[in-house]
Chains A and B, each alone.
Chain A
Amino acid sequence: MDLSLFLQQLLNGISLGSLYALIAIGYTMVYGIIRLINFAHGDILMVSTYFAYFGISVYALPWWLSVVMAILLTALLGILIDLGAYRPVRHAPRISALITAIGVSFLLENLGLVVFGGRPKAFYRPDFLDKTYELGGVRVFSLSIWVPLVTALLLALVFLLLYRTRVGAAMRAVAKDMEMVQLMGIDVNRVISLTFAVGSALAAAGGIMWAMKYPQINPLMGIIPGLKAFVAAVIGGIGNIHGAVLGGLLLGITEILLVAFLPSLAGYRDAFAFILLILILLFRPTGLAGKDTIG
């Protein structure tokens, strides 16, 4: 095997895996705190790319401003979805919440088709992300470097939030014992809102980078990244943030290497994610990092 080709593909894998990781954190935080698989997570990601698209291509705002605004709007969307859809069924049986989540997912997808139209739209990619460098025989696409860097930065922020702030401690506490947190005089709904905001913001960041990577968007584009990130979260151990990062990277890297070095199997790349999932769950039913909560 050619080493430079391997390194190049490894970088691509890390880049894709970073995106999975970013998106997976949203699943895992929400699950960790309220035991809900937010099936609309991928669709929230989709909406975020349209927010950015409108900023850049319709209102002709600077791309970075559009991206920042899209991330903030998506955080707000996450809060509103929790408020409108999930909070009313918070104390209902878990299956009700799950069905609600699937409902929200369909709602966003179909609303997207109605509002944005089904035709894919070209997504803007800033010039500096569109370069290819040659480093010692390894061809590197600048986006593949920036994506892991941005991801690392965002992950650092999430970990700071979770482990260095009071509200982060409250989030980890809610994951363990929601009732007890209420008894401390803490408004649990606020903590949950913030969790949705953070998870959705990360999905937006991941989604926008995804859209820059495969530069077009459509109302159903959230399904595959959403599903893959979900698989990544489960592989890592759902509810566990470190696990989500681990699962995302593992999935991204193995997927890319599979496609690169066994091209005959490339058509199965999506199926591969699930094979990996099944294998890992067979041997480690609680995922790689264990099913601990977001603590």
Chain B
Amino acid sequence: MLEVGDIHISYGGIQALKGISFRVKAGQIVTLIGANGAGKSSILKTICGLVKAQKGSIRFEGREIKGLAPHWVTRCGITLAPEGRRVFANLSISENLTLGAYFRRDREGIEEDMEWIFFTFPRLKERLYQQAGTLSGGEQQMLALGRALMGRPRLLMLDEPSLGLSPRLVSEVFAVMRQIHERGTTILLVEQNANAALRLAHHAYVLETGRIVLEGSGEELLADPGVQEAYLGKITLM
């Protein structure tokens, strides 16, 4: 579904991605893990067109999307829910969700998605006309997820959706991701919480300073001693 081939980007002369290649198969949950600053967010931003790749290709459903403006990438079926939720605090919850479906013309589909979101996040329905800025952090994350789903993406990219949430909410977010996936949406997930991410994912890539250094199924990487040491907080004794 998504094939990223040898992309390079740099910020003001500093290479942040040095030849990234990976693929996401339709129907999968794929995760990217790596330390702070490894370039995970940069990959997602490059795919959705916010950051321009200097080199390489990004193919989505067989079509080259590198160089498309961000709003076109979204219209092609890829939605990014970026780091830090970024709900429109000055807009109501209803307006936030409506904007998510702004470019769609299929009224019925929009309504269907709205229903699904209300069913999955009942709190949002209760607060429909409240300003999004008044929601708690967890509720804002749910709204950010809901808003992204309103575009009915075939590929949903999530950048650290569990960041800063209490353990209970973290597991709620993971449960929701599973539901989204069961509904038929392919997911590309970036997570700090490598443990949970690897357990959820079918396939995973490990990133180190702009390069992919390891890949495998979720279980394989969970069992990998190097990964355990670096990302799962398990100390292997020499």
Contacts and interface: CB of A to CB of B under 8 A. Distances in A.
Interface of A: 166, 169-170, 172-173, 175-177, 179-188, 292-293, 295
Contacts of B98: 166, 169
Nearest to B157: A183
* B interface residue count range (under 10 / 10 to 19 / 20 to 34 / 35 or more): 20 to 34
B71 A172 contact: no
Contacts of B71: 182-188
Contact of A180 (B69, B75, B88, B151): B88
B48 interface: yes
A181 B95 CA distance: 12
A182 B91 contact: no
Contact of B99 (A169, A175, A295): A169
B135 interface: no
Q: Most chain-B Cβ atoms within 10 A of its Cβ — which of A175, A177, A180, A293?
A: A180
A186 B103 contact: yes
B138 interface: no
A263 to B, nearest CB: 45
Interface string B169-191: 00000000000000000000000
Contacts of A182: 50, 69-71, 74
A278 B194 CA distance: 55
Contacts of A186: 71, 99, 102-103
Nearest to B144: A180
Interface stretch (B22-30, B78-86, B204-212, B230-238): B78-86
A185 B74 contact: yes
Contacts of A292: 90
Contacts of B100: 184
A172 B90 contact: yes
A293 B99 CA distance: 18
Interface of B: 48, 50, 69-71, 74-75, 79-80, 82, 86, 88-91, 95, 98-100, 102-103, 147, 151
12 contacts: A166-B98, A169-B98, A176-B89, A179-B50, A182-B71, A182-B74, A183-B71, A183-B80, A184-B147, A185-B151, A292-B90, A295-B90
B151 A184 contact: yes
Given A188-B71, A292-B90, A295-B91, A181 B99 contact: yes
B99 A166 contact: yes
A177 B48 CA distance: 16
A66 B147 CA distance: 44
Given A185-B74, A295-B88, 18 more contacts: A169-B91, A172-B95, A173-B88, A176-B88, A176-B90, A177-B86, A180-B88, A181-B99, A183-B50, A184-B147, A184-B151, A185-B151, A186-B99, A186-B102, A186-B103, A187-B69, A188-B71, A292-B90
A184 B151 CA distance: 7
Contacts of A173: 88, 91, 95, 99
A212 B68 CA distance: 49
Contacts of B82: 180, 183
Contacts of A179: 50, 70
Contacts of A185: 71, 74-75, 79, 102-103, 151
Contacts of A169: 91, 95, 98-99
